[in-house]
Amino acid sequence: MLIAALEPVVRGGENPGASLPWLLTSMIIVCIALTEEINMSKRDSEVYSKYKASAPFMFPVPSFISSIIIAPIRILLKKSQPEKGKELIATFVVYAVILILLSLPFALLHWPPGIGWSNWPAYIPGAI
């Protein structure tokens, strides 16, 4: 989200920075991918478990980073991934709250200045 906030916008537009809709959309995409994981595990458990052991979930990240990312769910669910609908909803809520809390200092401090975290869309008197 920070990288998106710092990127220039073409044709003189304004960059809204990181926002709650962007966060929720990203979280929904991850939940859809987790739903597919659950469905594939149910459909072809043996074959899919072999594949799953050899491939990363979404992005290839080092194992220590992966273990940090899944730590909240491992603590909450006592396993590394949700396996049911209610667990998936709990996963969504936990990570959404964590990411919102992590972004609060930036929103409250209006950092980075002038990029549009808090003043987008800009109000221009007389413009329609």
Predicted pLDDT of residue 5: 60
> Above 50 in pLDDT, residue 89?
yes
Q: Please check whether residue 117 is in contact with residue 5, taking contact to mean a CB–CB distance below 8 angstroms.
A: yes
- Omega into 105 within 30° of 0, i.e. cis? no
Return mean pLDDT, the chain.
79
Question: Residue 111 burial by CB count (10 A; 0-12/13-18/19+): exposed, middle or buried?
Answer: middle
Residues whose CB falls within 8 Å of the CB of residue 99, separated by 6 or more in sequence, listed in order: 23, 27
Least confident of 31-45, 59-73, 86-100, 106-120: 106-120
Q: Which two tokens stand for residue 31?
A: 């939940």
Q: Who has greater pLDDT, 96 or 109?
A: 96
Predicted pLDDT of residue 117: 47
Residues whose CB falls within 8 Å of the CB of residue 103, separated by 6 or more in sequence, listed in order: 1, 18, 23
Q: Who has greater pLDDT, 86 or 108?
A: 86
14-23, 79-88, 119-128, range with greatest mean pLDDT: 79-88
For the chain, give the percent of residues with pLDDT over 70: 69
Predicted pLDDT of residue 118: 46
> Above 80 in pLDDT, residue 3?
no
How many other C-beta atoms lie within 10 A of the C-beta of residue 57? 16
Separation CA 90–CA 96 (nearest Å): 10
> In angstroms, how far is CA 81 from the centroid of its own chain?
15
Separation CA 116–CA 49 (nearest Å): 45
pLDDT tens by residue, 44-84: 888 988 998 888 888 888 989 989 999 999 999 999 889 89
